[in-house]
Amino acid sequence: MQRRGMVLVTGGSRGIGAATVRLAAEAGFGVVFTYVSREDAARALVADLVQRGHRAHCIEADVGEPDHIDRLMSSLPQDMGPLVGLVNNAGLTGPLGAFVDTSLETMRRVTAVNVIGTMLLSRYVVAAWLAAGTHGSIVNVSSIAATLGAPGEYVHYAATKGAVESFTIGLAKELAATGIRVNAVSPGTTLTDIHATAGEPGRPQRVASRIPMQRVARPQEIAEAIVWLLEDKASYVTGSVLKVAGGS
Ligand code: NAP
């Protein structure tokens, strides 16, 4: 297997992030990923990958806290080769409900993690690549909610993902001539814990019938698109928002 440089995945301990960590490690990347609370899940994933001969490392860091991002970027391992990819995956919705009931605290927290965290990490990584005269690939994880608006569920969350998509398009154009690529994957409803955290564990089953394919996604189906965008196979792709949403 080809040994590649290092990829940083935020929120890699569970869900879409964990599937991305697995696929990226299996593709030969050294993978560093963050978690916030589930150290058990993060360490179990690292142990499984290392035991199978892959390179993986986890770091606790809340991407909604700028000082955590500073600490994360200064504690990246030195033995996994140069950083060649960033996956801004960590994200949250806040509680499901009508927009009129959404608290300021929820709006601030969801924006801090989904938007500011994505921007700060991207700025760090782009600055490092430009200073070194190298390049790499950034993949931002958006949501089909950016297109659909998520009425009655989490309009504020959909708006943060709209911001992620605009950020992706603009940054990609700004950097295109440097060889740095910036893309987004926009998943449809996927079987992860995010729905239980939002207050409705059965949400995937409830919404499946309104998806053209009549089913929700498995995390690996989203991760396949993310890892493809990281790789040189996607060398002419930048500024794209790839919907992986069963036809939605
Ligand atoms: P998930 O199952 O809830 O997992 C979230 C992951 O992110 C966990 O590893 C969690 O760490 C980590 N995390 C949460 N907040 C964080 C923070 N502030 N800083 C760093 N890491 C943090 O989520 P998911 O469903 O896989 O979602 C991943 C991404 O896909 C998100 O951006 C989400 O908006 C997007 N998305 C999901 C769906 C879906 O239906 N699942 C659909 C469209 C888009 P711990 O394990 O330590 O808690």
User: Residue of the nearest CA to atom 11 in ligand 1?
Assistant: 35
Query: Tell me, what DSSP letter sits at residue 176?
Result: G
Report the run of H or E that residue 122 belongs to, with start and end: helix 117-132
Residue 138, domain member (yes or no)? yes
| Ligand 1 closest atom vs CA 68 | 19
| Ligand 1 closest atom vs CA 37 | 47
Q: Which listed residue (35, 124, 154, 157) is catalytic?
A: 157
CA geometry: angle 75, 44, 118, nearest 5 deg: 45
Q: Residue 88 contacts by C-beta under 8 Å, 6 or more apart in sequence?
A: 10, 63, 117, 118, 121, 122, 138, 139, 140, 141, 164
Structural domains of the chain, count: 1
Residue 1, domain member (yes or no)? no
Residue 235, domain member (yes or no)? yes
User: Can you give the pTM of this predicted structure?
Assistant: 0.98
**Residue 98 structural domain:** 6-244
Residue 175, domain member (yes or no)? yes
Q: Check if 94 has its Cβ closer than 6 Å to any atom of ligand 1.
A: no
How close is the Cα of 133 to the center of ligand 1, in Å?
32
Residue 4: pLDDT band with limits 50, 70, 90: very high
User: Residue of the nearest CA to atom 12 in ligand 1?
Assistant: 11
Residue 13, domain member (yes or no)? yes
Q: How many CB atoms lie within 10 A of CB 57?
A: 19
Residue 85, domain member (yes or no)? yes
Counting every residue written for the chain, the total comes to 248
How close is the Cα of 83 to the center of ligand 1, in Å?
22
Q: What average pLDDT does range 52-66 have in this prediction?
A: 97
pLDDT of residue 2: 78
Report the run of H or E that residue 184 belongs to, with start and end: strand 181-187
Domain of residue 168, CATH code: 3.40.50.720
Q: Which of 221, 114, 98 is nearest to 164 (CA)?
A: 114
pLDDT at 244 over 80: yes
Q: What average pLDDT does range 216-222 have in this prediction?
A: 98
Q: Is 157 a catalytic residue?
A: yes
For 77-117, the pLDDT digits (tens) are: 999 999 999 999 999 999 999 999 999 999 999 999 999 99
